[in-house]
Structure 1
Amino acid sequence: MTPLDERALADCVETAALAPSLHNSQPWRFRISGDTVEVYADHGRQLEVLDPAGRELLISVGAALFTLRLAIGVRGWVPEVSVRPDPDTPDLVARIRADRATTPSEQVGALAAAIPARHTNRLPFTTAVVPADVIEQLAGAASAEGATLTVAGAVSRDAIIGLARAAEQRLGTRGGYRAELGRWTRPGPHRRDGVPPTAIGPWDALEHLPMRDFGLVHPQPFRPSERFEPHPTIVVLATGGDGPADWIRAGQALQRVLLTATHLHLATTPISQALEVPAVRAMLTGTGDHRWPQMIIRIGYAAPAAATPRRPVGDILI
Structure 2
Amino acid sequence: MTTVDSSVLPRCVQAATLAPSLHNSQPWRFRIDGGAVRVYADAGRRLDALDPSGRELLISVGAALFTLRLALRSRGWTSAHVLFPEPDSPELVARVELTGRAAPSEAVAALAAAIPLRHTNRRPFTAAVVPADATEELTRAAADEGATFTIAGAASRNAILGLGQVAELRLRADGGYRAELGRWTGPRKGRHDGIPPTAIGPWDALERLPIRDFGLMHTQPWRTSERFEAHPTIAVLATRGDDPPHWVLAGQALQHVLLVATRLGLATTPISQPLEIPEIRRLLTDTTAGRWAQMIIRLGYGPPAAATPRRPLAEVLRVDTP
Task: Give the TM-score band, short-chain normalised.
Answer: over 0.9
Q: 1:189: how far off? A: 2.0
Q: 1:207: how far off? A: 1.1
User: Could you report, residue by residue, the CA deviation over 1:20-52 in whole angstroms, capped at 9, with x for unpaired residues?
Assistant: 000000000000011110000000000010000
Q: Which range moves more in the overlay, 201-210 or 236-245?
A: 201-210
Equivalent in the alignment of 2:92 = 92
Letter in 2 for 1:292: W
Q: Is the 8 A contact 1:187 1:197 kept in 2?
A: no
Equivalent in the alignment of 2:239 = 239
Q: 1:82: how far off? A: 1.1
Q: 1:6: how far off? A: 3.2
- 1:143 and 1:255 map into 2 onto residues whose CA distance is 12
Task: Indicate the SS of the match to 2:245.
Answer: helix
Q: How does 1:208-287 map to 2 (within 5 A)?
A: 208-287=208-287
Q: Which range moves more in the overlay, 223-232 or 6-15?
A: 6-15
Q: How does 1:1-318 map to 2 (within 5 A)?
A: 3-318=3-318
Q: 1:187: how far off? A: 2.3
User: Could you report, residue by residue, the CA deviation over 1:183-218 in whole angstroms, capped at 9, with x for unpaired residues?
Assistant: 100122211100000000001111111110101111
Letter in 2 for 1:302: G
Letter in 1 for 2:233: T
- 1:223 and 1:168 map into 2 onto residues whose CA distance is 19
Task: Indicate the SS of the match to 2:237.
Answer: strand
Letter in 2 for 1:17: T
Gaps of 5+ in 1: none
Q: Is the 8 A contact 1:5 1:34 kept in 2?
A: no
Q: Which runs of 4+ in 1 moved over 2 A?
A: 2-7
- 1:106 and 1:84 map into 2 onto residues whose CA distance is 31
- 1:192 and 1:231 map into 2 onto residues whose CA distance is 35
Task: Indicate the SS of the match to 1:178.
Answer: helix
Letter in 1 for 2:34: G
User: Could you report, residue by residue, the CA deviation over 1:158-190 in whole angstroms, capped at 9, with x for unpaired residues?
Assistant: 000000110011111224111100010012221
Letter in 2 for 1:294: Q
Task: Indicate the SS of the match to 1:235.
Answer: strand
TM-score using structure 1 length: 0.98
- 1:100 and 1:245 map into 2 onto residues whose CA distance is 26
CA RMSD in angstroms comes to: 0.9
Letter in 1 for 2:285: T
Q: How many residues align?
A: 317
User: Could you report, residue by residue, the CA deviation over 1:88-118 in whole angstroms, capped at 9, with x for unpaired residues?
Assistant: 1100000002210001122211110000000
- 2:312 and 2:14 map into 1 onto residues whose CA distance is 8
- 1:154 and 1:120 map into 2 onto residues whose CA distance is 24
- 2:254 and 2:111 map into 1 onto residues whose CA distance is 13
Letter in 1 for 2:28: W
Q: Is the 8 A contact 1:192 1:311 kept in 2?
A: yes
- 2:299 and 2:279 map into 1 onto residues whose CA distance is 25
Q: Is the 8 A contact 1:6 1:32 kept in 2?
A: no
- 1:57 and 1:242 map into 2 onto residues whose CA distance is 14
Q: Which range moves more in the overlay, 74-83 or 258-267?
A: 74-83
User: Could you report, residue by residue, the CA deviation over 1:262-283 in whole angstroms, capped at 9, with x for unpaired residues?
Assistant: 0000000001000000000011
